[in-house]
Structure 1
Amino acid sequence: MATTIINSHKVENFTKWKQGFEAGATMREQAGIKIKGVYQSVDDENSITVISEVPNADVAKAIFLAPAMREAMEKNGVISTPEIRILNQTF
């Protein structure tokens, strides 16, 4: 069963972040990441939540521990420490 990742963070500018996020589509595909939804807070368009699925929790952890991911997030204007939840579906 797939593992779900819920990743919430603030960005300095949604448009800049979105361009960088879209540029990472090939990398995500190669890593087996499937985006289920990208959301903006109704109160702050620069507060983003991304919900995705990966094959398993080990893949999820490896993705967010990778220096390349941290560099990409900084480059794309992430300005807060991401709140990352890694969840296994139970039923």
Structure 2
Amino acid sequence: MPHVLILHHKVTDYRKFKANFNEHTSMRRAGGEKFYQIFHKAGDADDLVMLFEWDKMENFEKFAQSQELRQAQEEAGLVDQPEIFILKEIEKGVL
């Protein structure tokens, strides 16, 4: 079963962040990431909420502790450590 994560963090500049994010697509894919969406708070393009789907929680945990991720975060201009919510789907519907 896939695992869904929501991350919230601020960046210094969204364009700089997104360029760095795109540069590390293969690293994220190899780590187990399957899907992402990026949102920002209304009125603040640098305050991000990101939705991810990972294949296994163990893969996300390994990725989250990696030196490669730490370096990518520094290069991307993160203002603070992300707030992470790990979610388990209990129901899904279509209206």
Task: Answer whether TM exceeds 0.5 for this pair.
Answer: yes
Match of 1:85 in 2: 85
Matched with 2:5 is 5
Q: Which moved more, 1:28-37 or 1:78-87?
A: 28-37
The size of the alignment, in residue pairs, is 91
Larger mean CA deviation between 1-10 and 80-89 belongs to 80-89
Amino acid at match of 1:6: I
Corresponding residue number in structure 1 for 2:57: 57
Matching of residues 29-68 of structure 1 within 5 Å: 29-68=29-68
Equivalent-residue separation in structure 2 for 1:5 and 1:63 (angstroms): 13
Task: Write the letter of the residue equivalent to 1:42.
Answer: A
Provide the rounded CA distance (Å) in 2 between the counterparts of 1:41 and 1:15. Answer: 15
Query: 1:35 aligns to what SS in structure 2?
Result: strand
Identity %: 25
Distance apart, 1:88 and its partner CA: 2.0
Gaps of 5+ in 1: none
Shift of 1:81: 1.6
CA contact (8 A) 1:5 1:60 kept: no
Give the distance between the partners of 1:81 and 1:32, measured in 2 at CA.
21
One-letter identity of the residue aligned with 1:70: R
Answer with 1 or 2: which has the greater Rg: 2
| RMSD, aligned α-carbons | 1.2
Say which SS state the counterpart of residue 9 (structure 1) adopts.
strand
Instruction: Extract structure 1 runs of 4+ deviating beyond 4 A.
Output: none
- Length-normalised TM-score, structure 1: 0.90
Gaps of 5+ in 2: none
